[in-house]
Structure formats: C-alpha cells, structure tokens
Structure 1
C-alpha cells in the first residue's frame, strides 16, 4: 500500500469518487491507509462515512473507526451501521478500543450493541466499562499473552504459539502462577535462547513496574516513559493479572493531557472540542473572559488612582503597554514551565522553593536587560534620564513579579487542590498589570513630579 500524508488533492479525489459508483470508490480507498481514511472522515458528512465503512473490509473498517478522533464521534457512526456489520467491526476491535467507543453511548445503546456480540467479547467489554476512562483500567486491554511459571521451555513455546493465534501482536510475556498471581515478565528471546528444558521460573524478571486499575492515566504514562516499557501489567490488590496497557495507548494519553494543559493555560475549557462550532467555543470561553474582565478592572483602578500623574506626564502612557505586555509574556513563560514541572513531578517543598527562586533570578536578569534597552530608548527619544531610570526600575520590578507569580501561584494552587493550569493565567495577568502600572506610575509620581 502506498504511504503518504493526506492532502487537499486526496480529499478532492475521494469527494469526487463519492459521486460515482461504489466499485470506483472502493478501488480508490484501497490506496489509503486506515488512519488516512479516519482523518478524511473529519471533513465528511455522516452518510458518506457510513457508505465508506460499508465498502471497506471488516479488518480495515474496524481500524478506521479505532483511529477516528473522539471528537469525530465514531460511536455515532457505529450506531448507523447495520447490526450485522456493526457486530463484525466491534468483534474485530481490540477490547480497549471497543470499550472506549461504546462508553460514549447511552446505556440502552450500549446494551443494544453488546447483546449482538458473542458472550466472551461482550463479557470482556462489560468488565472494562466499569472502569473510569482516565484510569489504567479504562486504558487496559484484556487480550495479552501469559504463561505459567512452572512450564518448561518446550511447553512454554507451545503455549505461546497457541495464544498468539488470537492476538495480532505482543511485546511482553507475562508470567503467572496457577492462581493467576502476577510474578513478572519474560522475554521471548530469553525463552528461545534458554538451554535444555529449563523452567520459566528460572527466566522470569520479577522486578518490573505494574499498576492498579484505578491508577491515573498520567501516572501510567509516566511509568511507561520512565522505564521505557512497551506495555505495563494491570493487577488488582491481590496481584491477580487483569490486563495490560500498551505504549500506543499512552501516546494518546500524553497527547490528550498536553492538549488539555495548553487549553487550560489559555483559559479555554477542556470541554471545548477542537473541531467544535462557534456556539460551543463561545459557551466555553465567555465565562473565563468575563472573569478576566473583572480582574482587568483592578489594573484600571490603579491607572485611575494615578490619573493626576498621567495628566502631567502623558508620555507614560506610551510605556505602560510595554511594561504590562513584557510582564505578561514573562509570567506566561514561567507559568508554562512550572505547570509542566508540576504535571511531570511531585515537587517537594525544597524543589518548589528552588523553582520560585530560579524564576525570581531569571526575572531579575531579564528585567534589568530589557529595562536597560527601554532606558536607552527613553534617553534617545525623550531626552529625560530620570524617566529612563523610572522605566528601568518598573520593568525590572515587574519582570521579577512576573517570574515569582508565574512560578509561585500554580504551586500554591496545586497545594490547595485547585487545578494550577486553568486558574493561574487569569491571576498572573492581574498581578503583572497591577504591579506594572503601580510601579511605573508610583515611581513617576515620586521621582518625576
């Protein structure tokens, strides 16, 4: 199959084929990977999606649906299909993918789909539906390879061949005892290289990472990344092996978590879909803008307080936007770095202190450097050395405030149990505007009047 990125030409070509007969469309679709068709679906109407899915082989159709982004609502497409086609597709999906899709449906719709599945598939999916989607249980797949630690090499190989017939691919072989208690992992390479008729218990690697079903998905991603794992076992409190979470599922988690953090830092609710319409965008963003407007009145109040100063030194208005803008940018930089540190590590008090101290130092140096540039500009254009000193001090002070608040506020919010990403940006904007204006106008009132 040819492999390339889907571009506008491909979209136009497929849209044109949708106006033709099914055979022509089917031939054209054969040139595209399932993931490319899933991307194409984002720009197609639901009836066109349904038509394409019905033309694809079950194996490809199931992969397309599993590759569809959540915002494209693959569950709605699944409901449109004929029950027989739908059942074939769901049974072809990995249990974790099938669960993710079916969980988005109403309970009666879930039951409608599950009742048509074979008993084993339905039971596995029902079990996975009991776990929260943002936990290891919600991510795990109950299809995996496991062997008994008491097997010898030859019997283990026979067992691996038997189990691999039902699993497309596997990276890790889990080792259990007669009671399904997890004892560790063993590599296929070690089994093949083992001499004689050695038992698996002599080859098992017991010191491995594992998670509980209720472990948060971010912790699962961190462990897989930290230990460079292809999959991580999921066990209950008695160490019974329940399933596995694979690295490809963790990649999706990391992408979703990063997107969530970016949206939050920007003051956008995670409930807003990236492909949503303007109504959803307004409903998501307007409340935060109103809150931000309220905090902006605080900065406005500072300006009003120093109105007599501005009447006598109108030139200060030209520098107010510079001071506020630089402070906001510096605070956002400190905020982004700190929020990322919080999401990756559980910072101790000492580490938190060092984080704030670092941003204080960075703010002081950057403030002095940029303040010096503005001082030179003020000397050149306004021929007022004292004005330059005022601007220099205001710039330096405001970038120090920006660094300390950008790092300190998310750490305080985290300690209070408040999401640091979604609340910090509004607070630090207020701090940098209020302190920036206060420093500039206050120093000007004292030194220039």
Structure 2
C-alpha cells in the first residue's frame, strides 16, 4: 500500500460528492482509509467535515477524528455534532485518544460531553485528564488485560477472552495481585503453550520494564527504543497498575518531539502551529529575532573597533562574511548532532567530554581544509600570500570555535536545567559571528598592517 497524498483529484471528488446525495458521498468515502479522510479534512471547511462525520459509521468516524492532527481542532468538530452522535463516537474511541481530544475544549464544553457519556467512560476520561498531557499518565490507556497470580491456565484464558471483548487489540497480559499491584507480565503465546494444569505464577515474567505515571513522554519514548517494546505498563508509586502505553502512541510522541526540537533550534516557539496564521507566527518569532538583533550589534561593535583596519584593507569585508557564515553552518551541524545525542540518552561526563573533543577535531580539520581553499583564492585573486595566511588562520579558528560551542553549549545548558534546543542557536550564532569578524580583523591588524608599518 502506497502512502496517501492529497491531490486536486481527491479534493474534487469529495467536493463533488458533498454536493450530491448522502448515498453518493458514502460510496466515495468507502474508497478512503480513515487516516486519508482525516488528511482530506485539512482542506475542507467545517460544514463539510461535520456532514462527512455524520454520515460515516460510528467506528469509522471515531477513527477519522482520532487521526486528525491536534492543530486542525478535532475537539471543535466533535463539540458541534449532535449529542447522541458525539457520545457514540467518544465511547468508540480509546480512552487516551478521547482524553486528548476533549482536553482541547473549554471547561464548559468538556463538561457537556462528559455528562452525556456512560458513567464508567466519563470517570475514566476524567481520571486521565488529571495527568499532564506530555507525561506517561497523559499517554496511557487504562484499558488493560489482567489476570491474577493464583489462576491456572484455564481460568486465565477465560479471563483474557472476557476482558478482550471490549478491546481492539492487546500485546501483553499483566499479572496482578488482589490489590491490583503489578507483579509481572505474560505473553498470550506462553499461556497457550503452557501445560493444561500450569499456574500463572509459574509462567509470569517478573523482569519487566515499567514507567511511573509522572514520567516525561520523551523518557518513555527512549525506553521503547532502548528495549524494543510494543507496550509498557504504567504504575503509581505503590506499583498499582494504572494502564498501558502502546507503540502507536510513542510514534506520535517521537514525531512531536522531533518537530519541537527542529522549531526550537530554528528559534521558533513550539507553541506556533505549523498551519497557524501570520499573527501567531509573528508573536512566536519576534522575541527571538529581537534577541538576535542585540547579538548582531555585538558582532557589529567588533567591526567598529577595527574600523581603521577595514579602511586600509576593504577586501576583508567580503572575506569576513564568508568566514562568519561558514562558522554558523559548522556550528549548526555540531549543534544538531549534540542535541540529537542528548535527546537519545543522558550523556555521562566521559561521553560529554568525548563529544566535545570529537567536534573540536572535526572543526580543526574542516577549518584547515576550508582555510587552504581561501588561502589559494586570496593568492590567486589578490596576489597576497599574507592575506591568504590571515584568512587560513581565521577560517580554521572560527570552525574550531563552531565545533566547541556547537557541542559544549547544549551540554552546559542541559546540565543547568535549560532546554538545549531553545537557547543554543542564539548563543552559538553570537560566538561564530563575533569570532568570524574578530579573527580575520585581529590577524590582519597584527600580521598585515603591523608588518607593513615595520
């Protein structure tokens, strides 16, 4: 199956079907997967979305709403539906998905939806809404398959069959005691293969990975990756089983965290939605641009300090921009690698030192290689080997600065509790811009002008 991309033909088909009768629209919609319909919703007006949701079967409609990106407001679509249709859809959703969608709404709208639900469903969703959305508790689904330690194979299978009737799929069976304390995990395969009179306490795996409800979602994602998990149990401080997180939720988390890091490194707030309007974009980006303006003045002050050097060697003005730009590019590379390493694992002091040393060596070698290139450019175009030497030293020095700052600054920020993706780029740009101007001007002043005066 190929990945789906929205094109004009699909939109035209849907819009044409919307203008006809419901039977024709239903016929067209059957050709699309729920996730594809959710993608089409990005290009359709609110009235069209509501009409489509209302004529879709409840199970399909719930999938469509759960597949919608948060920025396209599935909660607003839900609240505008008839209460009966709305309740049917919410009760069809997994509890974690329902919680995510309802949490987007105002408090009175949340209350309106929850009051129309079955008491058990409403209580489960309210309990999940007490957790921060970016924690394990906010990700988990409280629906789990549980068996007791004292059961035998037949009792366990009967219990698994009974509980699984209300679940679409499950990967792991959890073993608990009478107080609902998690004692271990069990695979369905092991239960089926066990001898007829086997006891659960003989089959249970007591060596398992679990998370506390308050753990950050990024840390949960690391555990999934580290241990190649498909599901992980969520417990409280007393090891009472609260729910489970599945790999499909973690895929969404990884995409979200990756997007946040990219936006932060670029100086864009994570609060800015990718499809937001121009007002949101200005509000999000302007503070960072003002900070950048201040650091740009710092770099400009270096040029003012060496104005006599620039006046005597105006060719330096052209080369300085090249050296500063190369430093910025090299620093961004080192920053991206370091932030990625930090996001994957907590670096030890030894690993952090080795990461900085590696980027220093990379900066030295790349700087020298690029420095040789600019040396020969200066020699060929300007006929001045001393100018070439100045540019070689400045290029090498700035790429060393780029490697050191690009790797060490995010590590330092992480150590003092500041998100390295947020502030690193501005600090690093300041260093590489200042060094990109200072080094060629300083070397030119002392190697070219002083030598010429003598």
Q: Same fold (TM over 0.5)?
A: yes
Per-residue CA deviations over 1:278-317 (Å, capped at 9, x if unaligned) read 1111111111101101100011111111111111111111
SS at match of 1:242: strand
**Does residue 11 of structure 2 align to residue 11 of structure 1?**
yes
Cα distance in 2 between the residues matched to 1:156 and 1:127: 28
Corresponding residue for residue 211 of structure 2 = 211
Q: What do the CA deviations read for 1:64-112 (whole angstroms, capped 9, x no partner)?
A: 0000000001000011000010000000000000001111111111111
- Taking the TM superposition and a 5 Å limit, the aligned residue runs for 1:120-199 are 120-199=120-199
TM-score by length of 1: 0.98
| Aligned twin of 1:69 | 69
Offset of residue 23 of structure 1: 1.9
Structure 2 equivalent of residue 350 of structure 1: 350
Q: Which runs of 5+ in 1 are unaligned?
A: none
Q: More displaced, 170-179 or 17-26?
A: 17-26
Q: Give the equivalent residue in structure 2 for 1:414.
A: 414
What residue in structure 2 maps to residue 337 of structure 1? 337
Equivalence for 2:45 = 45
Provide the alpha-carbon RMSD of the alignment: 1.3
1:268 is aligned to: 268
The residue aligned with 1:98 is: 98
In structure 2, distance between residues paired with 1:334 and 1:215:
29
Q: Find the counterpart in structure 1 of residue 294 from structure 2.
A: 294
Q: Offset of 1:5 from its aligned partner?
A: 4.0
- How far apart are residue 247 of structure 1 and its match? 0.6
| 1:448 counterpart SS class | helix
Report the Cα distance in structure 2 between the residues aligned to 1:70 and 1:196, rounded to whole angstroms: 48
CA distance in structure 1 between the aligned counterparts of 2:391 and 2:166, rounded to whole angstroms: 71
- Structure 2 residue runs of 5 or longer lacking an equivalent are 450-454
SS state of the match for residue 19, structure 2? coil
Separation of aligned partners in 2, 1:8 and 1:392: 53
CA distance in 1, matches of 2:144, 2:25: 37
Q: Specify whether residues 346 and 163 from structure 1 end up closer, same or farther in structure 2 by C-alpha distance, changes over 3 A only.
A: same
TM-score, normalised by the number of residues in structure 2: 0.97
Q: Deviations over 1:178-213 (max 9, x none)?
A: 221111111111111112310011111110000111
Q: Distance in 2 between matches of 1:331 and 1:90?
A: 48
* Alpha carbons 2:154, 2:196 under 8 Å: kept: no
Q: Distance in 1 between matches of 2:360 and 2:47?
A: 57
1:27 aligns with 2:41: no
Paired residues, number: 449
1:117 is matched with which residue? 117
List structure 1 runs of 4+ shifted beyond 6 angstroms.
none
Residue aligned with 1:174, SS: strand
Q: Which residue of 1 aligns with 2:452?
A: none
Confirm or deny that 1:281 pairs with 2:281: yes
Does the aligned pair in 2 maintain the 1:174–1:184 contact within 8 Å? yes
Q: Distance in 2 between matches of 1:3 and 1:374?
A: 46
Change (3 A) 1:296 1:64: same
d(CA) in 1 for partners of 2:63 and 2:207? 35
CA contact (8 A) 2:213 2:235 kept: yes
Closer/same/farther in 2, CA of residues 436 and 5 from structure 1, 3 Å limit: closer
Q: Are 1:390 and 2:387 counterparts?
A: no
Query: Could you say which residue in structure 1 is the equivalent of 2:364?
Result: 364
Which residue number in structure 1 is paired with residue 225 of structure 2? 225
Aligned-residue offset at 1:55: 1.1
Check if 1:244 corresponds to 2:247: no
Aligned equivalents of 2:296, 2:311: Cα separation in 1: 22
Q: Does 1:432 align with 2:440?
A: no
